[in-house]
């Protein structure tokens, strides 16, 4: 469902994806996010996207339950609101743990704040990651309650579709967004799956939707022993990678050109040719 307010779309503007290798120390993670957001803003980014669970990658999966916040209150949400307002940017807060209906679980929630620090959208991750491969075991359903609503927000930059990490594998989610100009994808892809699947899936979502994709990932070795793939990237609507960062903390920056995007959609009107079954 569309959220936020409709405004004339900017023609050419900069966007940024933040890459981190977060750990269990929330204060340290927020300080690192603050530094990288400031760098992105200084370089002219007007829309900035943080990675999945940027504020905590705990030693155990249950750690995020202990620091879950109620919607609209808590230090992580305050940080996002204040930082967006300080830099006068639209900030996509990666994802954070919000209280779920089940006492032993959280919602993996992606929050969007406008340049005044107002929360204008919230998306709860729908698809929950499960992997049993070699020594790797992940089962997000043990600690996360899935969302059930597709979310698109109207912004000065066009219509923005929200997705998180494992959602990337399900193209029907992006089709359900209808026509979006930008897709944001906070993520923490494992190295095992990411090295084979990450880039091809990110670029595919851009091509099939003729949309810009801002994919902000966790990237590197974490204190808990986990290795995430990184390769945060911004991809244009023709599938070209405009900028990327293979590993470590940093900023990925690129220019969005809405006139170029419109010309591509006029030349290849695939979005109008969709037949839904």
Catalytic residues: 52, 125, 165
Best CA proximity match to 78, nearest among 41, 125, 118: 118
Which residues, listed in sequence order, are joined to residue 121 by a DSSP beta bridge?
112
- Only one residue has tokens 């927000």, namely 153
Q: Are 213 and 190 in contact (CB under 8 A)?
A: no
Which DSSP state fits 74?
S
Per-residue HEC secondary structure of 197-259 comes to HHHHHHHHHHHHHCCEEEEEEEEEECCCCCEEECCEEEECCCCCEEEEECCCCEEEEEEEEHH
């Amino acid at each position: 469902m569309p959220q936020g307010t409709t405004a004339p779309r900017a023609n050419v503007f900069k966007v940024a994806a933040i890459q981190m290798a977060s750990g269990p120390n929330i204060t340290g993670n927020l300080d690192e996010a603050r530094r990288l957001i400031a760098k992105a803003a200084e370089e002219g980014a007007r829309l900035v996207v943080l990675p999945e669970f940027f504020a905590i990658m705990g030693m155990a999966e249950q750690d995020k339950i202990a620091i879950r916040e109620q919607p609209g209150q808590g230090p992580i949400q305050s940080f996002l609101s204040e930082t967006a307002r300080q830099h006068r940017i639209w900030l996509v807060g990666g994802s954070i743990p919000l209280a779920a209906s089940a006492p032993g679980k959280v919602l993996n929630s992606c929050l969007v704040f406008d340049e005044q620090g107002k929360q204008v959208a919230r998306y709860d991750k729908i698809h929950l990651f499960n992997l049993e491969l070699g020594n790797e075991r992940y089962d997000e359903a043990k600690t996360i309650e899935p969302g059930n609503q597709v979310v698109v927000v109207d912004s000065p930059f066009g219509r923005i579709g929200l997705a998180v990490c494992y959602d990337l594998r399900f193209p029907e989610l992006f089709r359900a967004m209808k026509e979006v100009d930008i897709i944001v994808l906070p993520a923490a892809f494992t190295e095992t799956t990411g090295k084979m699947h990450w880039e091809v899936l990110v670029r595919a979502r851009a091509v099939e939707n003729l949309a810009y994709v801002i994919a902000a990932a966790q990237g590197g070795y974490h204190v808990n022993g986990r290795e995430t793939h990184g390769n945060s990237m911004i991809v244009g609507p023709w599938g070209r990678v405009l900028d990327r960062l293979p590993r470590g903390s940093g900023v990925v920056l690129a220019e969005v050109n809405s006139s170029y995007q419109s010309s591509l959609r006029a030349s290849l009107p695939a979005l109008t040719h969709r037949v839904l079954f």
